[in-house]
Structure formats: structure tokens, C-alpha cells
Amino acid sequence: MFQGFKEAVLKKKLNQLLSQTDNSRTPSSEKIKSIAIISNEDISSEIDLQKEIEIILEARNIKIYSLRKFNKSDEFSYKHFTKKNVNWKGHFTEDSFKCFLEEPFDLLIGYFNEKNLYLELAVLESRAQFKVGFAGVNSKLYEIEISEKTQNITGFTSELKRYLQILKKL
């Protein structure tokens, strides 16, 4: 019951933030030097996102965070966050993840193709200059949406590279 109430409050906050940022967002025209990825653990455990994106986009020092299910026995990780890291007001409480979101990356890739309140909130809260993700998740979050399956990382990153070259960001 409490989890459903928390999610209702967070959904309301997400919609409120989306309506505020919709008109004020202006993407950067600078070249991409720093890249961040937000995904869920199901995808990031199957695919080495960091390696694939480094190869195709010819980038280094990519940072990645994944949403995983909370488990008391899990060790602390600087690559994961859980639903427990979000309070009732929609603020992230884990310091390393807050630092990740506050870093002004040149590109943020939302590598998930299903609606997820916590992942969407993380993408929205990120201070990245340019955001890219999958079509059908939430069009208000991204400057570019790519229609592809999450298992086809090569197709996704090749299409992303093509768009970034057109926009002269690579």
C-alpha cells in the first residue's frame, strides 16, 4: 500500500517537473566529450553497454548507473541505485548517485525501453546537456528518441552516431 502511494506522489512530481522543463530546455551545440548511461540492471547485466558505446562512439570514460532491486544483502555499489534511494519528495538520497546526476555530461543515454518512474525521474533530474533514449518511453525526456530493441545495442549506437554526426556533435 505504501509503495503504491509513494509511486503516485513521485508520478505527480515527475509530471509537474516535465511540464516546467518542457519549454525551458535548450540543448547544447557543443561536441560530445563526456557520456553517461542510465539503465536498469536487467539490461546492463545482459549487455556490456559501456564497452559497446565506447567502441562505436569512440568515446572514453563513460559512466553508467543501473537501477536494481533492493536487497539488504547487496553490497554498496557506485554503479547501482534502488527505489529506496528516492525519498517521498522525489529526491535522490544516495550521495554518489546525486553527484552523478549533478555532473554536466555532454550526453546522457537513457538505455531502457519500458516506462519506469525511477529511471525517468533520474533522466529528468540529470544535468546532462543532451539526452537520448528509446522511443515510447517518454518523449518529453529526450532530444532524440531512437526506435530500436534494447538487445540491439549495435543498431542503437550506430543510429545514435549517425544523428550525432548530422548534428555535428561528434
pTM (2 d.p.): 0.90
Task: State the pLDDT at residue 8.
Answer: 86
Summarize pLDDT for 67-117 with one digit per residue, the tens: 998 887 777 778 999 999 998 888 899 999 999 999 999 999 999 999 999
Q: Which residue has the cell 516546467?
A: 20
Which residues lie below 8 Å from residue 51, measured CB to CB, with a gap of 6+? none
Q: Find out if CATH 3.20.20 is the number for domain 2-166.
A: no
> Is residue 1 over pLDDT 60?
no
> Is residue 24 over pLDDT 90?
no
Separation in Å, CA 75 to CA 53, 78, 95, 101, 134:
27, 10, 16, 21, 30
CA distance 170 to 164: 6
